Amino acid sequence: MTERIERELWLPAPPDAVWEAVIGDGWLADRVSLELKPGGDARFDSDGRVRNGWIEDVAAPERLIFWWACDDEPASRVELKIDEHRAGSRLRVVETRPLEVLDLVGVPLPGVGGSTYGPALVAA
Amino acid sequence: MNVPGASDPAGAPGPPGDDDRAGAVFGALSDPTRRALLAAIAEHPAATATQLASELPISRQAVVKHLNALTDAGLLDRTRAGREVRYQFTPAPLSDAVGWMAEVGAEWDDRLAVLRRQLGSDVHAGPRGA
């Protein structure tokens, strides 16, 4: 049972501009630090709430897939896709938490150090 | 604890490592018969295997097997009353899921509203730092 959130938004800006806004400080978190390569580290700081994670896949300015989690929460996977659409861009967001059920039985989840562990889960 | 592997329609490669309990949870929810059983138990609290078998088109023996998998997965509580075993649904996993969907969905709605304000007004300024 996968929990899944999907959103889609049209923006009157080219994909490059959307990409800059999406990965920059102030959107995903107040301070965003992304090592933009598969397996790279990701850190999201907002008001003392820190999420750590890692990059699953990146292709600027079209696609960013990452995992994130607060220390005490199960990790979730976020997929951001940007494409040109009607003189602007379409941003599609999918966040899933495929491992929520596993967390119930205390299985360690990908968060910090998840990069060694995550890819197998993505396939699941 | 066995996960009835034959009834894993998703063909999921399974969770990592060797945690059989995790496998049990994962497998439990991936099987339509077990989801039907969970629904039946949610409607008839303290059901017995015999009662459940009368409601579903499977044998009592098959019901017991599925109930064991669900119990192992932590989705059911089992209480013994005399000679009967009664099953209760423990819905924590599912209510947690609903809470997550609401919370995370609201977070994305907020973020998208921010982005709309930001890019809707200052689109012609071009990407920052480009």
Is the pTM above the cut of 0.80? no
User: Does B128 lie at the interface with A, CB-CB under 8 angstroms?
Assistant: yes
CA angle A113, B93, A108 (to 5 degrees): 15
Q: Which of residues 32-71 of B touch A (CB under 8 A)?
A: none
Q: Which two tokens stand for residue B71?
A: 């119990």
Q: Is B113's Cβ below 8 Å from some Cβ in A?
A: no
Q: Which positions in chain A have a beta carbon within 8 angstroms of at least one beta carbon in chain B?
A: 1, 3, 5, 7, 9, 11-13, 16-22, 24, 26-28, 76, 91, 93, 95, 97, 99-102, 104-105, 107, 117, 120-121, 123-124
Contacts for B37 with CB less than 8 Å, ≥ 6 apart? B52, B56, B63, B66, B67, B70
ipTM rounded to 2 decimals: 0.78
Tens digit of pLDDT for each residue in A14-69? 999 999 999 999 999 999 999 999 999 999 999 888 999 999 999 999 999 999 98
